[in-house]
Amino acid sequence: MFGLNVCGSALGQQVTVIAGNTMPAVKLQELNPEQVAESQERADLARQSLYYMALMREVEERIERRLYRQGKVLGGVYVGRGQEAIPVGSGLAARPSDVLFPSHRDLALYFIRGVAPRQVFAQYMGRTGGLTRGRDGNMHMGDLDRKLVAIISAMAASIPVAAGAAMAIKYQGKDDVAWVWFGDGATSRGDWHEGINLATVQKAPLVLICNNNQYAYSTPLSKQMACRNVADRAPGYGMPSVIVDGNDVLAVHDAAVKAAAHARAGLGPYLIECKTFRMTGHSAHDPADYVPKHLFEEWGELCPIRRIEKRILDQGWGTRAEIEEIHARIRRETDEAIEWAENSPYPDASELLDGVYES
């Protein structure tokens, strides 16, 4: 993807340009091996984050703005445009053995776990190549072999299930973690509170990630809760929490690493509130006329993809040409994935009950 040395300089040296009256001088500062490894790790994380965020954006754009409008998608479409940093930053902090409970705006988690874009397109088009083999549509998909648990449509219903998974991990004596994602609206439901109460009392290894995009369908945050932040609810359960910039993928990742360490240490659940904004309607059929237009403009300036691209360029972790090649590669992959999905057959009605009941 990229073939760069640390900070764009010779490995083990950091280049600082000192301004002068004529030609700039170059001062070399030696980095110890640990600093070199840390800088390289940060650069790799940034580049990996860009790839997964851009892939999620491209796949969802094709689903919502092309396939859905062409009548090729079965069911509704719910995207995470502008919120890609949350599933990517946190998903890259999880271990392969951890159990993930995505919500409906967390498509990147599937890609991080190895689900191919073609499987996602086939899923949305009701074809046998999808994860549910044509038995369900859109984001109602999971893969237990990859420890991806399918979303439950009723928002917040995944929290008590994730709490149960975390308790099972604890009983088995493992140091894995259950991760669950949800929106701000979910925190106003009873099952959210019941699940968290159970998990905190049991000190279950659970990381809770709130995708606070300011709206629960058409209801703004101020109309659904009196406290200023979702994280303000955590002390009532004796649970630590943190608020992070949900459009900064590296900040999300850092918070997720800390939360996971807390849970793995046997200290119980940890809540991360990611502040972001939903850059679209609730779903493809919702024009979001109830959202003040200036909010789209203001939050559009905080696009997580553009921000990590700028960070990569500013830090010398890559060039503009290399970034453009990532986007071109993703477009090629997406074209091929759609073609494959469209050639995947619909399920045969005779197989409707296969895999439903134990035989």
* Residue 26 maps to a domain: no
Sequence-distant (6+) residues with CB within 8 A of 183 are: 103, 105, 155, 210, 211, 212, 213, 216
pLDDT in tens, the chain (359 residues): 443 333 333 333 333 223 333 333 334 456 677 767 778 999 999 999 999 999 999 999 999 999 999 999 988 899 999 999 999 999 999 999 999 999 999 999 999 999 999 999 999 999 999 999 998 888 899 999 999 999 988 889 999 999 999 999 999 999 999 999 999 999 999 999 999 999 999 999 999 999 999 999 999 999 999 999 999 999 999 999 999 999 999 999 999 999 999 999 999 999 999 999 998 988 888 898 999 999 989 989 999 999 999 999 999 999 999 999 999 999 999 999 999 999 999 999 998 888 778 87
* Residue 12 maps to a domain: no
* Residue 136 maps to a domain: yes
| Number of domains, the chain | 1
Distance CA 337, CA 206 (A): 34
* Residue 328 maps to a domain: yes
* Residue 209 maps to a domain: yes
- 304-315 and 320-342 are packed helices; what angle lies between their axes, rounded to 10 degrees? 140
* Residue 118 maps to a domain: yes
Range of the domain at 222: 41-344
pTM: 0.88
* Residue 251 maps to a domain: yes
Q: Which of 61, 43, 160, 49 lies closest to 101, judged by CA? A: 160
Give the domain CATH number at 129.
Answer: 3.40.50.970
Q: Which of 357, 355, 339 lies closest to 132, judged by CA? A: 355
* Residue 304 maps to a domain: yes
